[in-house]
């Protein structure tokens, strides 16, 4: 098991290195010039452009810049530019072109907002998704079952940004049913303000993602309810509830866990639409703004962090798998 | 049609609910499943009874209704998708129409069941011990540690070595035979008065089969429970059963004491079953004759005798009787067993036509046999070749 995890971590690190190279390549060989973004349009002279290039170290070869970047991640890299000095310990993801701040610290400060969205959204999506999936599976073929499957297909067909935007415009701006959205740190402003600001974002993410869990757990549940061991459980004289929850669901939940593990990593990597629409300053919105200002260190860092979440989630899912299914042994 | 069916055992039964009634009485049981393609007539007008300490073997091809009728005793059919009529009385208590809570107390308590494939019938995510103690806890108000002790005791009872450490093993860590032993331990943990074994040895190695059958017999002796053993293996029936019920297309077609029925079968379907059993020690002249054709569709069963399309002896019956009229289940030419067939002299046909072909060395024996002589060779072991999956 230990050897397995080590091997998986090593291959994960290799994946991340390749991704960081790809981001650098896209940035430097792409059609736009980052220095131009920081040169005031009206007074932009070639001299000034060169100065910007030099101060952002864009004038140096790509390979050298990349090596510098990797060195920062491993060993840290303090920056000195004129009068400004920025400390950046390992893992240093560079200094933002635009904000002149340490990107690592900057993104860490944005992370709680994204984590809050991901946690609350996941609770809602799993609760609604799995319980309606079980409900439908137990009443297969009835009106209730067809209703759940139908509604989930319709909700699934609505583009997420449209759903989120309509929810925001109608429920907050127009009718004022929900409190104004935004991120209020739970430690500073208390859990009530925290939950109030995120409530609608949670509901929108939860409900729209719950539909796939509803259909998935319904299918998985129908399959496991036809298994011989569920018949054995009934033959023992157990209650319907126990047969469903302890025997059928126990087996049906395994594939759902796999999907959820990866989905959660995607949420942590940044819920761009949600953060943008509900004005929550998380990783996703930060990354989006960095693309607008061609702020390479921030873009590279958000991509790298997102990829790291997905790599880690894959490993964690495999480990959880071996815990919840005693037949699986990692080696 | 079903109401006209009587046979000697049923005629001799005491009235319903009387204290002398056998432990299990199935009376005119009919089970139907409405499906998109039509009504599946899985079991029609089935009647039998079984006393404590006795074993009934139910034999037939797949789809003959043997499992469906036994699942009905356990109340395992989804009542929303099943139409049942007739009567099943367990210990004098009517099962059909029983409230689901009452049914649950019988299921796994007084009546329990073991299934064909122990690997798929055990939950892969729970330990053997947890699954056995769960069955015990469902019917007894005891602590979890008491239930665990009981599980260890049962594993020991069914011959699992080192039960104290194996109790925490998962099903995939057990061998096939051990899994079936664990299933038996689970079924017997509540000391059931009736055990239904649905093809308990089919998925097992031949060497393990005999051990499991021995174990069942030994436990039956100790617990004095009634056993229904569902199988398509006549060897299993010969070893285990006191009585045999042969089913075809959802109906009983021949019923009788095991030795009597295996040595003097009077229904061409039973002949077919016997002639398709391979036997390593048999006469090399003996032929293995499969039953021609396929089991009938239960959506639209054949008219008259359901076996007539596959019956090689139907031309011996005058007129169109086999095709037009369902034969009643009547007393056979020899006393003690009943059959459902129009043939006027089946005993002579069996001795002169069937037996010489399938077991030439037995002809003289059987002809001389007057039901009292020992004749175990007529029930060779092995699976029925015509089994149609």
Q: How far is B269 from chain A (nearest CA, A)?
A: 31
3-class DSSP state of A53: helix
Query: Cβ neighbours of residue A16 under 8 Å, at least 6 residues apart?
Result: A304, A307, A308, A311
B293: Cβ–Cβ under 8 A, 6 or more apart, which residues? B309, B310
Distance (Å, rounded) from C-alpha B73 to C-alpha B50? Answer: 12
Say if residues A70 and A53 touch (Cβ distance below 8 Å): no
- Which domains are present in chain A? 2-103 (no CATH), 106-324 (1.10.3720.10)
> How does DSSP assign A103-152, residue by residue?
HHHHHHHHHHHHHHHHHHHHHHHHHHHHHHHHHHHHTTTSHHHHHHHHHH
Contact yes or no for B122 and A229 at CB 8 A: yes
From the list B76, B109, B120, which residue is nearest A229 (CB)?
B120
- How many other C-beta atoms are found inside a 10 Å radius of the C-beta of residue B106? 23
Nearest-by-CA chain B residue for A138: B78
Integer angstrom CA distances of residue B153 from B95, B167, B171, B208, B295 = 31, 10, 18, 22, 44
Query: A237 vs B135: CB contact, 8 Å cut-off?
Result: yes
Q: How confident is the model at residue A269 (pLDDT cuts 50, 70, 90)?
A: confident
What proportion of chain B, given as a percentage, has pLDDT over 90? 41
Chain B residues closer than 8 Å to A231 by CB: 76, 115, 121
pLDDT in the model for residue B384: 40
Give the class (CATH, top level) of B2-246. Answer: alpha beta
**Residue ranges of chain B that CATH labels 3.40.50.300:** 2-246
Chain A residues whose CB is inside 8 A of the B74 CB are 235
Query: For residue B112, what are the contacts with CB-CB under 8 A and spacing of at least 6?
Result: A235, A236, B135, B187, B188, B190, B192, B194, B195, B196
* Per-residue pLDDT tens over the stretch A289-326: 998 888 888 988 999 999 999 999 999 998 888 888 88
Dist. CA B47–CA B2, nearest whole Å: 10
A15-63 pLDDT, tens digit per residue, is 999 999 998 888 888 777 777 777 777 778 888 888 888 877 788 888 8
Q: Name the pTM for this structure.
A: 0.81
Decide which of A245 and B360 is more confident. A245
Confidence of residue B281 (pLDDT cuts 50, 70, 90): low
Residue showing tokens 């909700």: A155
Residue B320, CA atoms < 13 Å, CB-side half-sphere: 3
Asked if this assembly's ipTM is beyond 0.85, the reply is no
pLDDT digits (tens, 9 = 90+) for B216-257: 998 898 888 999 999 988 888 998 999 999 999 999 999 999
Rounded percentage of chain A residues whose pLDDT exceeds 70: 99
Residue B169's region, left for phi above 0, alpha for psi from -120 to 50, else beta, is beta
Specify the pLDDT at position B62: 83
**How high is the pLDDT of residue A133?**
94
- d(CA A134, nearest CA chain B) in Å: 17
Alpha-carbon span A275 to A288, nearest angstrom? 10
CA distance A76 to chain B (A): 47
């Amino acid at each position: 098991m230990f050897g397995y995890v080590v091997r998986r971590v090593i291959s994960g690190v290799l994946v991340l290195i390749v991704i960081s190279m790809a981001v650098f390549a896209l940035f430097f060989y792409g059609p736009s010039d980052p220095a131009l973004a920081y040169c005031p349009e009206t007074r932009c002279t070639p001299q000034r452009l060169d100065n910007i290039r030099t101060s952002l170290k864009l004038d140096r070869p790509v390979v050298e810049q990349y090596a510098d970047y990797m060195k920062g991640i491993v060993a840290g890299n303090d920056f000195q530019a004129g009068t400004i000095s920025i400390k950046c310990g390992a893992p240093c993801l560079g200094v933002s072109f635009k904000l002149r701040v340490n990107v690592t610290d900057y993104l860490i400060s944005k992370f709680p907002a994204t984590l809050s969205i991901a946690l609350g959204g996941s609770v809602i999506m799993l609760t609604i998704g799995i319980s309606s999936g079980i409900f439908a599976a137990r009443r297969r073929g009835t009106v209730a079952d067809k209703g759940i499957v139908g509604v989930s297909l319709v909700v699934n067909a609505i583009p997420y940004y449209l759903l989120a935007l309509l929810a925001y415009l109608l429920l907050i701006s127009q009718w004022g049913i929900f409190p104004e959205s935004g991120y209020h740190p739970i430690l500073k402003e208390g859990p009530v303000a925290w939950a109030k600001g995120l409530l609608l974002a949670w509901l929108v993410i939860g409900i729209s993602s719950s539909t796939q869990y509803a259909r998935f757990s319904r299918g998985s549940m129908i399959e496991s309810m036809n298994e011989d061991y569920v018949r054995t459980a009934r033959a023992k004289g157990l209650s319907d509830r126990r047969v469903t929850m302890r025997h059928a669901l126990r087996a049906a939940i395994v594939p759902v866990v796999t999907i959820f593990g990866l989905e959660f990593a995607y949420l942590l990597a940044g819920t761009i639409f949600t953060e943008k629409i509900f004005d929550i300053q998380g990783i996703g919105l930060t990354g989006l703004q960095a693309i607008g200002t061609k702020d390479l260190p921030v873009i590279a860092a958000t991509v790298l962090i997102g990829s790291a979440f997905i790599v880690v989630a894959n490993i964690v899912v495999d480990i959880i798998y071996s815990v919840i299914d005693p037949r699986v042994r990692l080696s | 049609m079903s109401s006209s069916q009587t046979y000697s055992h049923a005629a001799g039964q005491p009235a319903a609910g009387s204290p002398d009634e056998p432990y299990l009485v199935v009376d005119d049981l009919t089970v139907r499943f409405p499906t998109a393609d039509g009504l599946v007539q899985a079991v029609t007008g089935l009647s039998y009874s079984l006393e404590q300490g006795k074993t009934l073997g139910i034999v037939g091809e797949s789809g003959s209704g043997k499992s469906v009728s036994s699942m009905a005793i356990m109340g395992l059919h989804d009542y929303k998708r099943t139409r049942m009529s007739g009567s099943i009385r367990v210990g004098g208590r009517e099962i059909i129409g029983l409230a689901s809570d009452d049914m649950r107390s019988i299921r796994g308590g007084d009546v329990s069941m073991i299934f064909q494939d122990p690997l798929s019938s055990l939950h892969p995510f729970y330990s053997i011990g947890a699954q056995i103690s769960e069955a015990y806890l469902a019917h007894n108000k005891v602590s979890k540690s008491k239930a665990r002790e009981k599980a260890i005791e049962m594993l020991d009872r069914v011959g699992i070595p080192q039960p104290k450490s194996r109790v925490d093993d998962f099903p995939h860590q057990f061998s096939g035979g051990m899994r079936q032993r664990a299933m038996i331990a689970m079924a017997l943990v509540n000391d059931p008065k009736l055990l239904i074994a649905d093809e308990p040895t089919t998925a097992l190695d031949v060497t393990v089969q005999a051990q499991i059958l021995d174990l069942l017999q030994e436990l039956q002796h100790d617990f004095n429970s009634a056993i229904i053993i569902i199988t398509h293996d006549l060897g299993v029936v010969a070893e285990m059963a006191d009585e045999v019920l042969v089913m075809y297309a959802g109906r009983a077609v021949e019923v009788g004491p095991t030795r009597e029925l295996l040595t003097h079968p009077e229904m061409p379907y039973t002949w077919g079953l016997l002639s398709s059993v391979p036997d390593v020690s048999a006469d090399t002249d003996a032929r293995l004759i499969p039953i021609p054709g396929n089991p009938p569709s239960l959506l639209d069963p054949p008219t008259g005798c359901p076996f007539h399309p596959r019956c090689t002896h139907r031309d011996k019956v005058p007129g169109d009787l086999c095709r037009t009229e369902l034969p009643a289940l009547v007393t056979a030419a020899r006393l003690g067993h009943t059959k459902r067939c129009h043939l006027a002299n089946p005993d002579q046909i069996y001795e002169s036509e069937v037996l010489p072909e399938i077991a030439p060395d037995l002809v003289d024996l059987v002809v001389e046999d007057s039901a009292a002589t020992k004749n175990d060779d007529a029930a060779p072991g092995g699976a029925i070749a015509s089994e149609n999956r």
